[in-house]
Amino acid sequence: MATYLKRAFKYRFHPTDAQAAELLRTFGCVRKVYNLALAARTQAWTRQERVNYNQTSAMLTAWKKTEELAYLNEVSSVPLQQALRHLQVAFTNFFGKRAKYPRFKSRKKSRKSAEYTSSGFRFRDGKLTLAKMREPLDIVWSRPLPAGVSPSTVTVSQDPAGRWFISMLCDDPSVQPLPATDTAVGIDVGLTHLLTLSTGEKVTNPRHERRDRAALAMAQRRLAKKARGDGANRAKARRKVAKIHARIADRRRDTLHKLTTRLVRENQTLVIEDLTVRSMVRNRSLARAVSDAAWADLRSMLEYKAQWYGREVIAVDRWFPSSKLCSACGTLRERMPLHVRTWTCDCGTTHDRDVNAAKNLLAAGLAVTACGAGVRPQRSTPGGQSATKQETPRREP
């Protein structure tokens, strides 16, 4: 039997008042169970004891029998068990030094979601019905599911803007490796141009946040004037701010998906720079622009789509002097201020700063692929002789 890639298909849906009330109650119970289990495991940890998933599952059964937590019986048990499994994964990542210690879920700040496995929903004739519900969900089918497949897991969520989403995890037979090609491209990211390719192509930065900046500022000022607390007016103002943020994020995500899909389909090898976006956003002058460009999301999309379609993404060391290095002769300039967009090398070649950087990234990435060389090509020394400094590239797994 063929094994296909698991892929999530996300859709909007519009619940009835009864369904919305049931789902909100489920979200609260999921958060409560997660926090109770986390507290129990934390207390055990202070006593140098370990509590696993099976023990928290037994605790859940005991909690349901108490008068104080009897309301946990009113919702489906499947999302509650999944919350315990998610906590187990969080602790596994913590002990594996891949994540920080799990944190408690907040009613106001945590994501509202509940996960249902196959025993917690029914999917027939294109209609999805969740446990504890009589009517199927009114889903907006913006695209069809793969033919002949059924979801193995369903996740229901509500974003801060009040929109409801359903995410279905399915086998997708359509995701297959593309025919191999000999094309490769270097990708230099920026702010004026979102991407500059080694072919010379430049993709303009849409600056999605700037288009709604005035409306966002107005909504935020109105929110700041509302009285603190859980009042209806403050909730309404908070919802307006969230809707603007959601509109910006949707446009940004759509642009990145279209761009990364095209790059992955057209090129066998994609070479990018290993930027530390988390450190760059600490610069107060560039934080807003860097966040709006979403370089981390761009890289993430390139990597998982390349894995889907049999392509390769190479990350070149962030200290590689791609802008200061002449792609024609290999001469390294000592300084290259940001305001310098074009420059002429001693060899007579005139470079566009971003295109030259993309070409150098491509050359460094191909060197890594071909022979395992370092990411720094030959550079010219003051005496005119070439010197090579080999470094082990820090590539993502």
Tokens standing for 394? 């820090």
Q: Report how far residue 144's alpha carbon sits from residue 360's, in angstroms, rounded to the nearest whole number.
A: 42
Indicate which residue of 22, 115, 209, 273 is catalytic: 273
The answer to whether 194 touches 299, Cβ cutoff 8 Å, is no
- Strand 153-158 and strand 112-117: the pairing is antiparallel
The answer to whether 251 touches 294, Cβ cutoff 8 Å, is no
Residue 172 a catalytic site member = no
Q: Report how far residue 165's alpha carbon sits from residue 15's, in angstroms, rounded to the nearest whole number.
A: 10
Report how far apart, in Å, the C-alpha atoms of 106 and of each of 2, 85, 155 are. 42, 19, 19
Indicate which residue of 22, 115, 188, 209 is catalytic: 188
Tokens standing for 159? 């974003």
Q: Report how far residue 375's alpha carbon sits from residue 395's, in angstroms, rounded to the nearest whole number.
A: 10
Count CB neighbours of 306 within 10 A.
Answer: 20
The answer to whether 208 touches 297, Cβ cutoff 8 Å, is no
Residue 115 a catalytic site member = no
Indicate which residue of 22, 115, 317, 354 is catalytic: 354
130 sits in which H/E element: strand 127-130
Give me the torsion for CA of 94, 99, 102, 108, rounded to 10°: -170
The answer to whether 179 touches 264, Cβ cutoff 8 Å, is no
Measuring CA to CA, which residue among 24, 294, 18 is closest to residue 135?
A: 18
Residue 273 a catalytic site member = yes
Listing DSSP states for 45-61 in one string gives HHTT----HHHHHHHHH
Q: Which residues are identified as catalytic?
A: 188, 273, 354
